[in-house]
Each structure stands twice: as C-alpha cells, then as structure tokens.
Amino acid sequence: MDKTTEVTAKKLPNRWLIVVAGIIIQLCLGTLYAYSVFRNPLMEKFGWTITEASMAFTICLVFFTIAMVFAGLWQDKVGPRLVGTVGGILLGAGCLLASRTNSLTMLYISYGVIAGTGVGFAYVTPIATIVKWFPDKRGMMTGFAVFGFGAGSLVFAPLAAKLIIKYGVLNAFAILGIIFLIAVAGSAQLLQNPPQGWKPKGWNPPQTEASAKGITLREDYSPGEMLRTLRFWIAWTMYFLGASAGLMIISQAAPMAEEMVGLSKETAAAAVGVLAIFNGLGRLFWGAVSDRIGRNLSIFLMFSVYAVDLFFVLPHATTYASYVVGICAAAFSFGGYLALMPAITADYFGTKNLGINYGWMFTAYGAAAIFGPLLIARIKEASGGVFPGTIYPSSAVTHRSGFDCN
C-alpha cells in the first residue's frame, strides 16, 4: 500500500506558482473586510441605519460560509479550477449588480447572496489545493493561502475610498466587480490538485514528531465521520467564539476610527488598510509558528494576545497611534484563526476530503458572522453610539474561547 510513492516532478506544475495564484484570488476576496468603507456612504445615500447597512456584510459572510460546504464537496469531485472560476464569475456579477441597487433588498441579494456565494466558491479552492501541495509546511503554507484574504483590504479599502469619492459608492461597486471577475476567474486557471500519492521529494510524514507536537495524524475522515467526533465540535466552538470577537471589530473598523479618534474618512480607510497588513501577517506568523511549536500552544498564545488587547488596549484608544496599535493587535490575532483552522482540519481529519470537511468547519465562521457584527451594531445603537463600551463584549467572547482551545 504505497500510496505515498514519489511522483516524478517533470510533468507537474511549480507548486509555488499555485501559491501565487491563490494569493491573487484571496486578495480580491479580501475586499469583504473593506465593507466598512462602503457602509457610511451607503447610509448617507439611502438613509439606512447602522444595522440595516451592516446586514449586507453579515449576509455576505453567511452565504460565503454556506457556499463553502457545497464548493468543498464539488471541488473534491471536479478539482479546484472550475469551482474557482465559478466563484470569480459570481463575485464579479454580485458587485456589478450591487452597483445598480436602489433598495436594501437588492443590496442584500446582489452583494450579500450572489457576491457572498462567489467568495465561498473561490475561497476554498486555493486553501485545499495549497495544503495538498505542501504537506511538509502545512501551517506556514495555509498562512500563505489565506494571507491575501487578510491583506485584501490593504489594497481595496484605500482604492474603494478613492473610487467612492470620485465616482460615487455605486460606481465603485461596478469598477471593483470588473476587477474581481477578471483576476479571480483568470487566476483559477492555474489551480490543480497534485496526483494521488504525491509528496515532496525526500519528505516523509513526521509521525512521531507530529505526535510530540499534539498533532494526531489519522486516516482520512468522511464528512459524516468527522461530524460525529467530539474533537470537531470543540474546534468548531473555539472557531465560532474567536471569529465572533474578530468580526465585531472588523465590521466597525472604519466608523470606530472616525468616531473614537476623529479621523477623516480617507484616514480611517487607511487605518483599515494597516489593519489588513497585520491581519495578513498574523496568518503567516501563526501558521509558521504552529509548524514549530504545535497548533495547541499556538492557539493558546494567540488567544492571550487577543484578550489582553480587547480588554486593556483598544477600548481606551484616544489617539491615532493607540487606535492603530489596538486594531492591529486584534487583527494580528484574528488572522491566525484563518491560518490555523484549515491546518487543524487537515491534521485531525486528513486531506482526502479537506474541501468539504473544512467547509463544515467554516460554518463556525458563518455563525460568527451573524452573531458578531449584529451584536456590536445593536450594542452601539443601544449605548447611544458610543464605541468603547461595545468592545468589552468582544473581549469577553475572546476570553471564553481561550478556555476551549485545549
């Protein structure tokens, strides 16, 4: 039973080229985190409330999550190229339709349902593909796979702000939709899975070392088998609580900068871009560190940084510098979730069904997308629009999730 026999590399693509394609795709998908730049202009144009305008972000995240389950199953059957292409088409079409919106319902359907579904289809493809090409650097390369998603708002938040000022918020949706359609669908053509049994030359699975690091290498689980394990539900709960806290902050990042510190819209958008840098760096850092010290210890340290920041730093930010430190520390820790959870899913449940298995794990993120942004918007409205008090619930959620990591 030598399914791990080395396959000759001369007919195979350069696996680093697949990483580049994945990062380009994720950069475009990461515009999701720049939605707070669109929120206030939409409120001003149509007279919507914070909760109404924020709901589009929540719906987008929910359909992103739902789509990942189906996209993962489809990808495991047909490969990543077709699934990623469909994702790019849906994302571009959703943004183009959002540019014609004249009601909340139309925004929810175009940006929330259609674009969100496109993000879900395109998001899962580079992650599952890259993990299969890099079993020797699983944590680090998962970090690379999701780096672009975290850093996407670094590119698109300032660009969107400039487009909104120059052309209006609806035309900004149209321009970005065209960019996403071309970039995501085009990059997806470079994605393909390695042959069955492929492994990097000279590499063997580190059975004893993995065990010492707290990683259990098991036979591949089917989705049904995985869903019946306690380990899955512990990891799911941890993911839900941590993502809820992070999405509370990210969904309000630009308005928080404007109202807590008094920044202009453009400066607030730039601050969201800085947040994106640290979100991306957190994915790279925690992914790489987890390969060395193990997933469990990495998660514990990540939670610790997260909780300290949300309790003691960000709620007390009154200057640009203190706000940037607080928001970047939160983003640095939050970014680790999206690097570590695919690696944990692969470690515990195998790579054969990784597309759909991680799709199920990612439903925790979708549930958090409902809970987190709506909770902070409701609390802000109930507290008379004061931001510092709304941060404490997110820190409490993070603190609770820290007890579930082991």
Please say whether the beta carbons of 187 and 23 come within 8 A.
no
Please say whether the beta carbons of 221 and 353 come within 8 A.
yes
Helical packing angle, 50-78 and 80-98, nearest 10°: 160
pLDDT value of position 4: 44
The single-letter DSSP state of residue 48 is: -
- Whether CATH 1.20.120.1080 fits 15-194+205-402: no
Number of CB atoms found within 10 A of residue 117's CB:
24
Please say whether the beta carbons of 67 and 29 come within 8 A.
no
pLDDT value of position 106: 96
Low-confidence ranges of the chain (pLDDT < 50): 1-10, 208-210, 212-213, 215, 386, 388-400, 402-406
User: Could you tell me the pTM of the whole model?
Assistant: 0.75
Number of CB atoms found within 10 A of residue 393's CB:
17
- Distance separating alpha carbons of residues 279 and 32, to the nearest angstrom: 13
Nearest to 397 by CA among 306, 332, 271, 284: 306
Name the token pair of 185: 């669908």
pLDDT value of position 95: 95
pLDDT value of position 3: 46
Name the token pair of 282: 């957190």
